[in-house]
Amino acid sequence: MTHARSDEGVAGGEDVLGAGVLERIPDGSDLLTAEDIVVRFHTKRGVVHAVEGVSIAIRAGEVLAVVGESGSGKTIFTRRVMGLISGGNGTEVHGTVTYDGTKLTELSGKELSKFWGAEIALILQDPMTSLNPVKRIGEQLTETIVLHKRVTKKEAQQRAVELLRSVGLSEPERRVRQYPHELSGGMRQRVTIAIALSCNPRLLLADEPTTALDVTVQAQILDLLADLQSRLRMAMLLVTHDLRVVRSRSDRIAVMYAGRIVETAPTPELFAEPKMPYTEALMNAVPPIAGPNHIRLQVIPGRPPDLVNPPTGCKFSPRCPYAQEKCLTEEPPLREAGSADHQYRCWYPVGSEEGLKAKARNVERGRSAAGTP
């Protein structure tokens, strides 16, 4: 229903969302590339290798999902891309982020802020702490608009109301005068989405946008994001720990483990033919929602590595059922599986001859090379 309303806006030549769609670069070409991103934190305990050499390219109009458990470096990586983490003060950063021809990593904070909101927007996990508790919703919405667009306060106010309506918030005229605490979690997340979309960004970074929400609200927000994303032809980086969330809502997936990308592939291909044992294990560890109950879940033994002292060789080798001696000493590079779109890091990939042999050998000796039973 709300969509119908904003469509009328298009007819009138003044759509609140999606203005400037035509100027956008064609779908499929790289909008943002991150090359060899490294983030290390120097702490008393030692150097935390949070992100080690991650490269991705987000294409215009696509949804790229980054999936990983806590401590995999997915959030730090997203923040580095956004420019929210920079070097100095015990933080070491390397690598370049290029957005539509501009090297973001070489810009000063002031220059960078021209991109924030206007070109690249961010949605965070916790909608309570990402809103200012002592400012009305309307003020927080118009702030970005007034900063980036040449509009009067009144126009900005109108736009705020329209934005709230387009993200499916009821009674938007009343909401702009309310404070964040008067809204529920789902409504607040709708407000942060409205703020993120207020200047028609071409790229939306969504860091666990639904993790703090209930399942029915989560479904609503994910539907909303998918709908807006396809309507506005906006590229999206969807960061999450839940593979189920991205299954039907992403074009490509990058799986992160211990600060590295361990596998990246188009979504259907990743689910059909995972190559990296970690991807496979992650899929099997989720309780199924069909079939009989009391299924014995396949566990991944152990826990994610300590990023101060990560294991040598393949970072997943201590937990991997396929691990051989080679895995413990040599870190596998990203290799292509069939196409350049599907890459993985593994010496004994799932489903391959070597992989099957490696697993059989481990079953035979009753443990993997790392000694895991």
Partner 1 sequence: MTAARTERPAVAGAEQDGSESDVVLRLEDLVVEFPAGGGQTVHAVSGISLEVHRGETLGLVGESGCGKSTTGRAIMQLPKPTGGKVVFEGRDITKLSASELRELRPKLQMIFQDPISSLNPRRRIPDIVGDPLVVWGRGAEKEKIVPEVLSAVGLDPAQVADRRPHQFSGGQCQRVSIARALVLEPEVLICDEPVSALDVSVQAQILNLLEDMKARYGLTLVFIAHDLGVVRNISDRVAVMYLGKICELGETEALFDDPVHPYTRLLVSSIPSMETVTGADIEKADRGRGEMPSPINPPSGCRFRTRCPLADERCAAEVPEMREVRPGRYVACHHPILEPVGAAAAAEGA
339 makes contact with partner 1 (CB under 8 A): no
Q: In whole angstroms, how large is the CA radius of gyration of the chain?
A: 22
Per DSSP, the three-state class of 2 is helix
300 makes contact with partner 1 (CB under 8 A): yes
**Structural contact between residues 359 and 346, judged by C-beta atoms closer than 8 angstroms:** no
Cα–Cα–Cα angle for 271, 244, 300, rounded to 5 degrees? 75
Residues 60-89 binding partner 1 (CB under 8 A) are: 69-70
366 makes contact with partner 1 (CB under 8 A): no
Place of tokens 């458990």: 69
The single-letter DSSP state of residue 88 is: B
* Residue placing its CB nearer to partner 1 in the complex, 108 or 216: 216
In angstroms, the CA 55 to CA 36 distance is 5
Cα dihedral angle (146, 148, 151, 152), rounded to 10 degrees? 20
* Residue placing its CB nearer to partner 1 in the complex, 148 or 175: 175
237 makes contact with partner 1 (CB under 8 A): no
Q: Is 216 left (phi over 0), alpha (psi -120 to 50) or beta?
A: alpha
The single-letter DSSP state of residue 200 is: -
* Residue placing its CB nearer to partner 1 in the complex, 186 or 349: 186
String marking each residue 253-272 x if it binds partner 1 according to CB under 8 A: --------------xx--x-
C-alpha 307 chain-centroid distance: 20
286 makes contact with partner 1 (CB under 8 A): yes
Binder to partner 1 among 10, 283, 334, 356 (CB under 8 A)? Answer: 283
CB of residue 226 to partner 1, shortest distance in Å = 8
Query: Nearest 5°: phi and psi at 30?
Result: -70, 125
Binder to partner 1 among 217, 328, 334, 356 (CB under 8 A)? Answer: 217
CB of residue 38 to partner 1, shortest distance in Å = 24
In angstroms, the CA 265 to CA 155 distance is 43
Query: Nearest 5°: phi and psi at 320?
Result: -90, 130
* Residue placing its CB nearer to partner 1 in the complex, 65 or 261: 65
* Residue placing its CB nearer to partner 1 in the complex, 10 or 226: 226
214 makes contact with partner 1 (CB under 8 A): yes
Binder to partner 1 among 89, 108, 152, 293 (CB under 8 A)? Answer: 293
Determine how β-strand 339-344 pairs with β-strand 260-266. antiparallel
Place of tokens 């071409």: 202
The angle, 0 to 180 degrees and rounded to 10, between the axes of the packed helices 185-197 and 137-148 is 10
Binder to partner 1 among 84, 219, 308, 360 (CB under 8 A)? Answer: 219
* Residue placing its CB nearer to partner 1 in the complex, 115 or 278: 278
Residue 99 token pair: 């957005």
44 makes contact with partner 1 (CB under 8 A): no
Residue 273 token pair: 């033919």
4 makes contact with partner 1 (CB under 8 A): no
String marking each residue 93-132 x if it binds partner 1 according to CB under 8 A: ----------------------------------------
Contact residues: partner 1, CB under 8 A: 69-70, 168, 170, 184-187, 214-220, 222-223, 226, 241-245, 247-250, 267-268, 271, 281-283, 285-290, 292-301, 303-304, 319
